Structure 1
Amino acid sequence: MTAAVQPVHPASTRAAVLHGPEDLRIEELPLPALGPDDVLVQVDAVGVCGSDMHYFASGRNGQNVLRQPTVLGHEASGVVVEAGALAEVAVGTRVAVEPAVGCGRCATCRSGHYNLCPTGTCFGSPPTHGTIAQFLVAPSRSVHPLPDAIGTELGSLIEPLAVAVHAVQRADVRLGHRVLVTGAGPIGILVAQVARAAGAEEVVVTDINDDRLARAAELGATSVVNTASTELAHTGMDRLLECTAVPAVLWQGIRALGPATRATVVGRATPAVDGLPLAFLQRWEIDLGTAFRYAHAFPTAIALAASGRVDLAGVLTGRFPLDRAAEALRAPVQDPTHLKVVVRPGD
């Protein structure tokens, strides 16, 4: 009987390394050895996120600053091609990668809130190398098998869908709710779809880009409003999910809420803002909450996409090979009709 041939672990991988603002280089980097509970993923697709574009444009995203050359990207999918001895994921499994799973040991992680781990890292958040690479070594707990109903490329969009799932859960959207989503970018449109799946009766999406609003309407929003030209007349909404990170938009959305409702900040908040309508919140007992990444949301995201209740293909608008990764990072800014573009490292 012939012994099974063990896969050869690659010594290196080509990757998109950011050295400074607008300085992205395709380089060959050493590939770490697999630990006993690690897997090696051959990356199929990586979605470009707003955080990637911020790092590329300015060398920072919020308060996190590029301090050394770092591989960008955190929205990844691919195929497991090697597995450590303790990894419970079979070679050949198509997976979506959860980029931030916490240390798994601290009290915060043990309580289930691993997205808030004080020492946690995230792929593509400097100085931790990201996923825009041909191969990726990841803990086995951070990969989620994809069912046949989800193509491997679309599996890269499970990560932003998980953001939307967690946001809707944090907002406590319930059956029959009237929901206002501010921002028709990829996250806003996914949030709108998840809110509908959660039972929202009405989902209103606002933006200042008519192309994106049209896509939101195609993908499940019951109505859309261009707030650059039309006053937001909707009032008495039950939930607000703010996805633009623009304070004035949050204040406007809060004033569209009814009594005893909830506003949830989803877009990356600025460090401090002025103008919070605190008296209005207090007078009507409107709760103001936040959502950060996700915890335990990938299985729900995969189930929603596999069932067709969320349309991922409708959000994907562009593909670029690894050698054109810099173009992918510029594309949504240069062409605002783009929603989600992906880098295909194998192309």
Structure 2
Amino acid sequence: MKVAAIFGERAAGVVDVPKPTPKEDFALVKVHVVPMCTEYKAFESGRQGHRFGHEATGEVVEAAQPGRVKVGDRVVVQPGYPCGRCSLCLAGEHIHCQSPRDVRQITGSVAGAATFAQYLLKADWLLSPIPDGVSYQQASMACCGLGPTFGAMQQMGVDAHDTILITGLGPV
């Protein structure tokens, strides 16, 4: 399969890696849309490798075990490889998990651990269904585009009647 890779400072391209195989609770997702988030920092700095990207939308093409997802499901791919068992994960704060799963240990490869690729592997509980009538492009904003902002507003108890000040020019 094709995967985006960084070769050096401001140098990127496409490389071939083996297509990953899902195991345990992982599913294989054919990637349709990958929004650009903080990946530009890796491109600018020249951090080499082919594990590029952390959020996407796509279609489930294979599941290691039946259950949460099935072949053909349109899904939003949540970022990271959290454990799913710690207090942070159980509280819905899986992006802050301190005990992430090791994709290489589970699947025997890091192929599939990036979203700028034709396919990726993700635990089935990190795949959220895309409602009918919502495009892959629209749904791709569900992770870093809306997720952190929505979570922050919930934590602060902000509602539609509050006035807020947004400062900074971060990636989210």
Q: TM-score range by the shorter chain?
A: 0.7 to 0.9
Match 1:16 to one of 4, 29, 54: 4
Cα shift readout 1:6-62 (whole Å, capped 9, x = no counterpart):
xxxxxxx1010113221212011112221131111111110011x111110113xxx
Any unmatched runs of 5+ in structure 1?
1-12, 60-65, 183-242, 246-266, 269-347
Q: Which amino acid aligns with 2:59?
A: V
Instruction: Identify the residue that residue 73 of structure 2 maps to in structure 1.
Output: 93
How many Å apart are 1:181 and its aligned residue?
Answer: 1.9
Provide the TM-score with structure 1 as the length reference. 0.43
Equivalent in 127, 137, 146 of residue 143 of structure 1: 127
1:48 corresponding residue in structure 2: 36
Larger Rg: 1
Whole-Å separation in 2 of the counterparts to 1:134 and 1:111: 31
Name the structure 2 match of 1:174.
Answer: 159
Native 8 Å contact 1:36 1:87 kept in 2: no
Distance (Å, rounded) in 1 between the aligned partners of 2:78 and 2:39: 16
The percentage of counterpart residues that share the same residue type is 31
Secondary structure, counterpart of 1:80 in structure 2: strand
Give TM-score scaled by structure 2 length.
Answer: 0.82
- Counterpart secondary structure, 2:166: strand
Q: Is the 8 A contact 2:81 2:122 kept in 1?
A: no
Aligned residue number for residue 307 of structure 1: none
Correspondence list, 1:215-230, <5 A: none
Q: Distance in 1 between matches of 2:63 and 2:98?
A: 28
Aligned equivalent of 1:103:
83
Deviation at 1:93, TM superposition (A): 0.8
> Given the alignment of the two structures, is residue 164 of structure 1 paired with residue 166 of structure 2, yes or no?
no
Asked if 1 retains the 8 angstrom alpha-carbon contact of 2:34 and 2:115, the reply is yes
Q: Contact 2:4–2:116 at 8 Å: present in 1 too?
A: yes
Instruction: Pick the structure with more strand per residue.
Output: 1
Paired AA for residue 96 in structure 2: L
The total of aligned residue pairs comes to 163
Give the letter for the 2:27 counterpart.
V
AA in 1 matched with 2:73: T
1:178 to partner: Cα distance: 1.1
Matched, 1:131 2:115: yes
